[in-house]
A and B are shown apart, each in its own frame.
Chain A
Amino acid sequence: MAARNRLFSIFNSDFHGYALTDWREYMRFLELRILAPTVIAMTCLTDVSLRFALTPERIAFRAWEAAAVNSTAAGPFTPNVTYLNVRSYGDLSNLGNLPSLRAYRREYFTTDAQGFRNTPAAPNRSVKFVVVGDSFTVGAGLSDADTLSGQLAAMSQSGALNLGNYRNWPDIEKLIRARHVDRGVVVWQVSERSEPLEGGEMPFGMRILKSLLPNGVYSALRTGARYSMYSPLKIVLSRMFRKVQNDEWLPNVAAGSVIRKRLPNGQEMIFLHSEVNNFGRNRGASPEFFVQLQTAVRATNNELLVVMVPDKYNVYYPLLPGSSSPPAEESTTLGMLARNLRANGVLAVDFTPVFRQAAAEALRNNQYIYWTDDTHWNPAGVRIAAREILKVLPQSSFPPGSPGSGSGGN
């Protein structure tokens, strides 16, 4: 009734009187003690609702974040994802807020039913390679076909399984047995920058939770934890801020976390601050983990191959103008670990020398083996790695004809 009266009052002569009373009534709420807490509450509400309304793939700058938020306990990424980004760019240009140095690329990212980065076509072939490792194995910044497993599969004409970003051996063993991988190779990739080198286990608390809770509950908790960190409102606002922090209007504070260097051909390359700081530091990694792992892998009737991916700074250091000669290969963390592993009978290859040489050769054609704006290798770098892997595998451990065909054999 009251509403109708008010509506009619517009046509009445006392319209002004009505409007004024109404206005005054609302004025009661125009007080800081009501508005300020309301603003805080509204912000919280917006934040929470945007977490559900704006899915990660809509605002991520690359596949990794888009696919990582909704992972389950079974795998590292959201299951059954197909993500395409034609203007994906590197982690370092993002970290340092350096849009001018972005190297835009197309990124096509597919995951299987468990959330590993495998295309549906892959399982049809009999799997001969199981690649385990970190973001290098996953292929951060690469499209499906360019990943290590993708290129290994293409070169060897066999199946290759990408288990990147997941290093829990008991689960991997289960997968190997479920897929009947036999007389194949488990390629265990380690990165120079991971601490510890073997990639580290799940944090103790997480392991306890995982063993105690039913799978569904654990997954839900994990998703909850991820979503508590994922705030689109924060992301959008901080992107606006970073636009203004362009070293013209405001200083770019993010630039301090990366280091920019110029190659002899004039190309600027970005490096991770910690890679530059850690360069030449020998961390003295122990081979013990891998020796035990080898026994476990052999129990599944497969062979273990440990491959070591050097930091981008380690690869490009000799090419940077004014740098002194790098430390001898045997005295570096990766070089020493590789030697120790081979002495213990574990197949191991450190990509550092091959990569350095390849980087120098590629540079002559103004080409690179790591992305200029990312910590990771590019398709060319992966190709060299895949070729090296096929080269070092002994013919005997492998069905004849397949592995050596690309590399010319021994």
Chain B
Amino acid sequence: LRRRKLCLILPVVSDLALLGFFKYANFTLASIAGLSEALHWPIHVAKLDIVLPIGISFYTFHTITYIVDSYRGVITPTRNFFEFSCYVSLFSQLVAGPIVRFREIEKDLEQIGQHDRKTMLGRGWSFFTLGMIKKVLVADSIAAIINPALLHWNQVSTSGAWLSMLGYTYQLYFDFSGYSDMAVGLGLMFGLRLPQNFNSPYKAVDPSDFWRRWHISLSSVLRDYLYIPLGGSRKGELGTYRNLMITMLLGGLWHGANWTFVIWGGYHGILLSLSRAGSAKLERIPRWLRAGVTFVLVVVGWVLFRAESVAMASGLLHRLFLPTAGSLPIGWPLLTVVVFIAAVLAHIGPNTFEISHEWGTAATVCLVLLFVACLGVIYGGQESPFLYFQF
């Protein structure tokens, strides 16, 4: 039994140590230096020159869930090295998810090559095309306008700040869910059914509903491998709130080594706790109002998520809620149009897992044209070396 425990703890600890070193070493060092300065006892801390390995956050989670699931007996560890390495480093989702549990694709991996090629290819390309349209045409066009504006965040007006932050809200969703759709599409082309990562999150009616819809693969991993082992909701009211806070703070930190992410995690932890405490009363409020309030709370959270520093976060929040003069982002008319389209799609439209992916002629032609536009944007959007070939 002790050996079994050792086989669990040793690899999980080494996995986390690797992730911790690559992702958080400099953050920890900088925080120690900052703290020491604040205490008027400055220590000189060296900055390490670390290059973050591609996809480390994701394959760390993959191996951890694999080890824990093997320990729990949920899965039988595979004897096939190809299956294991394919699971850990599947290229389509290596960089940004979704986080896949082994049991979710175990069957597909075993039966690879035996799927119905035509149907899977059809669905795969449909997912891929839709994902690319979401990412390139919606998310990237918003980014092209709001990034330069947020570079000078202390000059935007209140309406400019709202427009930018709404833009960012949809950018994040269309970017990430578009990316996930592309990963799912690529998986389908190989016969692998990757899990759904987003389920129309902006239709959520309360914070916990939001987390059941947003980055589902991450929140379910956090739930199964952190929240529940901590005791989940079985440790009394206070214990539950504590577990929620720990889970959300660590979940925030997972997104990146910056205090803004920790604060963002904490903010959502508080929202989850509050909505849990008042759930009975909240039920009586009309659904549309709950959805609206949840959405605004989420947008406020994205301010913390987007800000590069705590100062930027507080500055932006100030501009959002206290009328301030300033400028609108350059290109705001186009931004308004794109945000409107994105809002309709996100709040009213179905998501990629709710549609049949069987397209008629007209729809196919439209999608192909949009796909061509995507390629044009990808091609033309980046600086060509010829423009500045050689000095």
Establish whether residues B365 and A237, one from each chain, have CB atoms under 8 Å apart when the complex forms. Answer: no
Q: Are A234 and B380 in contact (CB under 8 A)?
A: yes
Cα-based distance from A37 to B390 in the complex (angstroms): 34
A32 proximity list for chain B (CB < 8 A): 122, 125-126, 129, 359, 364, 367-368
Partner of A235, one of B124, B371, B386, B390: B386
User: Bound state CA distance, A230 and B383, in angstroms?
Assistant: 12
Main secondary structure on B side of the interface with A: helix
Contacts of B172 in A (CB 8 A): none
CB distance from B142 to the nearest CB of A (A): 11
Given contacts A27-B361, A33-B124, contact A231 B384 (CB under 8 A): yes
Q: Is B372 interfacial (CB 8 A cutoff)?
A: yes
The yes or no answer to A144 lying at the interface (CB within 8 A) is no
> Can you name 30 A-B residue pairings with CB atoms under 8 Å?
A30-B364, A31-B122, A31-B359, A32-B126, A33-B118, A33-B125, A35-B368, A36-B129, A39-B371, A39-B375, A43-B379, A65-B390, A68-B390, A91-B388, A135-B391, A229-B386, A230-B385, A233-B379, A234-B379, A235-B386, A238-B379, A238-B381, A238-B384, A240-B380, A241-B381, A248-B330, A248-B331, A249-B331, A251-B329, A253-B144
Q: Is B221 an interface residue (CB 8 A)?
A: no
Which of B364, B383, B389 contacts A35 (CB under 8 A)?
A: B364
Min CB–CB distance B67 → chain A (angstroms): 37
Question: Do residues B144 and A64 form an inter-chain contact, with CB atoms below 8 A?
Answer: no
Chain A hits for B390, CB < 8 A: 64-65, 68
Asked whether B85 is an interface residue with its Cβ less than 8 Å from the other chain, the reply is no
In the assembled complex, B11 has its CB within 8 A of some CB on chain A: no
Question: DSSP class of A's interface residues: helix, strand, loop or mixed?
Answer: helix
A28-54 at interface with B (beta carbon < 8 Å): 30-33, 35-37, 39-40, 43, 47
| Complex CA distance for A241 and B381, rounded to whole angstroms | 7
Closest to B122 in A: A33
Let me know if A103 is at the binding interface, CB within 8 A.
Answer: no
CA distance A393 to B119 in the complex (A): 80
Q: What is B's interface to A at a CB cutoff of 8 Å?
A: 118, 121-122, 124-126, 128-129, 144-145, 147-149, 329-331, 334, 359, 361, 364-365, 367-368, 371-372, 375-376, 379-391
Contact A33 B121 (CB under 8 A): yes
User: What sequence of 0s and 1s flags, for each residue 191-211 of chain A, a beta carbon within 8 Å of any chain B beta carbon?
Assistant: 000000000000000000000
Question: What's the Cα separation between A160 and B368 when bound, in Å?
Answer: 59
Q: Complex Cα distance A43/B374, Å?
A: 11
Instruction: Report A382 CB to chain B, min CB distance, Å.
Output: 17
Which residues on A sit within 8 Å (CB–CB) of B380? 234, 236-241
Residue contact A234 to B145, C-beta cutoff 8 Å: no
A146 at the interface (CB under 8 A from B): no
Docked complex Cα distance between A28 and B220 (Å): 41
Nearest CB of chain A from residue B95's CB, rounded to whole Å = 20
Return A134 CB to nearest CB of chain B, in Å. Answer: 7
Verify A238–B364 contact, CB threshold 8 A: no
A229 with B389, Cβ < 8 A, contacts A32-B129, A251-B144 known: yes
Q: Is A250 interfacial (CB-CB < 8 Å)?
A: yes
> Closest 9 interchain pairs by CB?
A237-B380, A251-B148, A251-B330, A33-B121, A234-B384, A32-B125, A33-B125, A241-B380, A238-B380
Check if A157 is an interface residue, CB within 8 A of chain B: no
In the complex, residue of chain A having the shortest beta-carbon distance to the beta carbon of B121: A33
User: Is residue A114 within 8 Å, beta carbon to beta carbon, of the partner chain?
Assistant: no
Report the separation of the CA atoms of residues A199 and B125 in the bound assembly, to the nearest whole angstrom: 50
0/1 interface trace, chain A 58-95, chain B, CB 8 Å (1 if under): 00100011001000000000000000000000010011
Q: A35-B368, A39-B371, A249-B334 are in contact. Are A68 and B389 (CB under 8 A)?
A: yes
- Tell me if B376 and A237 are in contact (CB < 8 A): yes
- In whole angstroms, what is the CA distance A94 to B382 when docked? 15
Q: Is A171 an interface residue (CB 8 A)?
A: no
Which of B122, B128, B144, B380 has the most chain A CB atoms closer than 10 A to its own CB? B380
* Shortest Cβ gap from B293 to chain A (Å): 32
Residues of B within 8 A of A238 (CB): 379-384, 387
A196 and B148 alpha carbons, distance in the complex (Å): 33
CB-CB nearest in chain A for B384: A234
| CB proximity of B382 to chain A, nearest CB, Å | 7
Tell me the nearest residue of chain A to B363, going by C-beta. A32
Smallest CB-CB separation from B388: which chain A residue?
A95
Closest Cβ of chain B to A32, distance in Å, is 4
Q: Residue A361 at the B interface, CB < 8 A?
A: no
Please indicate the chain B residues that have their CB under 8 angstroms from the CB of A35 in the complex. Answer: 364, 368, 371
A27-B361, A33-B125, A40-B375 known; A231 and B386 CB under 8 Å? yes
Closest B residue by C-beta to A229: B385
Tell me whether B148 and A253 are in contact (CB under 8 A).
yes
Q: How far is the CA of A277 from the CA of B381 in the complex (A)?
A: 27
Complex Cα gap A248–B384 (Å): 22
In whole angstroms, how far apart are the Cα atoms of A325 and B125 in the complex? 63
Is A234 within 8 A of B386, CB to CB? Answer: yes
Per-residue CB contact flags for chain A residues 243-271 toward chain B (1 = under 8 Å, else 0) read 00101111101100000000000000000
Q: What CA separation (Å) do A135 and B128 show in the bound complex?
A: 45
Interchain nearest-CB distance for B328 vs A (Å): 11
Chain B residues whose C-beta falls within 8 Å of the C-beta of A233 in the assembled complex: 379
Residues of B within 8 A of A235 (CB): 384, 386-387
Report the separation of the CA atoms of residues A64 and B129 in the bound assembly, to the nearest whole angstrom.
Answer: 39
Residue pair B145, A250 in contact (C-beta under 8 Å) = yes
Tell whether, in the assembled complex, residue B330 and residue A250 are in contact, meaning their CB atoms are under 8 Å apart.
yes
> How would residues 215 to 245 of chain A score, 1 for a CB under 8 Å from any chain B CB and 0 otherwise?
0000000000000011101111111110001
